[in-house]
Amino acid sequence: MSAGITITGGNFEQEVLQSPIPVLIDFWASWCGPCKMISPFIDQLAGEYEGKIKMGKVNVDEEGALAQQHGIASVPTLVLYKGGDIVAQKNGSASKRDIEAIFTGFIES
């Protein structure tokens, strides 16, 4: 099973903006309880939708500039990029089904 990839300021453009498939980014922090709850869902969905969507994770404590650049004010925040543009966003905790609902309309079946 695939896991979400680590997104940093150094690989954001290549992994997200230039990605040929949609990318769901989980902006999280190690001290965040709800972040820990949704992390396994992100990893599961990465495996289930491998090749259709890319799942990425940004640790806001390690990548504060990247989080600030994208207007992340709270964690967890899930942001969906397609074609380099933000097409959906969800703040706060979510079930696996809720996370899946964010991107299913933006992927090819």
Catalytic-labelled residue, pool 32, 58, 79, 94: 32
Catalytic-labelled residue, pool 24, 35, 53, 79: 35
Catalytic status, residue 35: yes
Catalytic status, residue 91: no
Q: What are phi and psi of 15, to 5 degrees?
A: -75, -30
Q: Are 33 and 87 in contact (CB under 8 A)?
A: no
Known catalytic residues are 32, 35
